[in-house]
Amino acid sequence: MITERDITETLKTELQPLPYLYAFWIEGSFAMGDADEYSDIDYWIDVEDNYVKDALEHVELALRKLGELDERDETGNDHPKLGQIVYHIKGSSPYLVLDFNWQLHSRDRKEYHYIKNDIVEGALVIFDKDDVIRFEEADKQEILKNKKICMQECDYRYSQHLRVRKYINRGTFAECYAYYNKFVIEPLVMLLRLKFTPLYPYHYLLHISRHMPLDVVNRLEKLIQVKSLEDMENRMKEAKEWYQELHEEVAR
């Protein structure tokens, strides 16, 4: 069975000699050290502006050395200096999808960097010829800005609990469930994010089990696992107590 190591080494051998390709790295679970048999691979390259086509030809040449490509989905990117293609190699695990991204070398380096010792995002450098991949200290001002903006949003949402209660009173589960998530769960999760991952307040539930202690995740899951209007009524009381507790803690 084809492995991440097979793919990465094959790509490295093919791409590193290219003079117009400056860096090659991995993001996501393989970079953070928590990949499992269900993980995809998030590859990145930094390439000279006029050589994207040439670089991608070499990428696909390398991948075809490992097998036929049975998926090639060029999804694009809204950023003018970023691009993305999703690949899969026939015969490899169906979960081993290759999310291949590139940035033009002229991209402003002030736009991006990685945070030292970050538990949410990171980079595993395969090679870097021009100091493309940089690790910096967390910006304390950005954390304070996130806290101010997000706590205002959380307070507004939490003030709207009557929107949930009216659907409890109407006996309509679907609408109540939607409002329960929006006005009870989401602001609570945002406060948890401000506490544990303050640079990423809008990541919501994405990989939250990796970012927070098990007892916190278990407590949150109990609030999410509602099966009836009565469950939501009861969980709202528990969520309110926790919200107030977190609010005081984060506001310090």
List the chain pLDDT tens, one digit each, 252 residues.
Answer: 899 999 999 999 999 999 999 999 999 999 999 999 999 999 999 999 999 999 999 999 999 999 999 999 998 778 999 999 999 999 999 999 999 999 999 999 999 999 999 999 999 999 999 999 999 999 999 999 999 999 999 999 999 999 999 999 999 999 999 999 999 999 999 999 999 999 999 999 999 999 999 999 999 999 999 999 999 999 999 999 999 999 999 998
Of 103, 110, 136, 102, give the one whose Cα is nearest residue 121.
136
Of 226, 239, 231, 225, give the one whose Cα is nearest residue 185.
239
In angstroms, what CA-CA distances link 91 with 5, 61, 245? 16, 17, 51
HSE (CB half, 13 Å, CA atoms) of 67?
A: 15
Q: In whole angstroms, give the CA distance from residue 165 to residue 103.
A: 48
Percent share of the chain, pLDDT over 90: 97
- One-letter identity of residue 102: W
Of 97, 77, 76, give the one whose Cα is nearest residue 87.
97
Q: In whole angstroms, give the CA distance from residue 13 to residue 127.
A: 11
pTM of structure = 0.91
Q: In whole angstroms, give the CA distance from residue 183 to residue 205.
A: 15
3-state secondary structure of 224: helix
Q: In whole angstroms, give the CA distance from residue 43 to residue 11.
A: 10
Say which residue the tokens 């690790």 belong to: 135
As a whole number, the mean pLDDT across the chain is 96
Residue 201 phi/psi, 5-degree rounding, is -70, -20
CA dihedral 84, 89, 95, 101 (to 10 degrees): -20
Tokens representing 141 are: 């001002």
Contact (CB, 8 A) for 186 and 163: no
Cα 67 from chain centroid (whole Å):
29
Residues whose CB is less than 8 angstroms from the CB of residue 173 and which lie 6 or more positions away in sequence, other chains included: 228, 229
Q: In whole angstroms, give the CA distance from residue 232 to residue 235.
A: 5
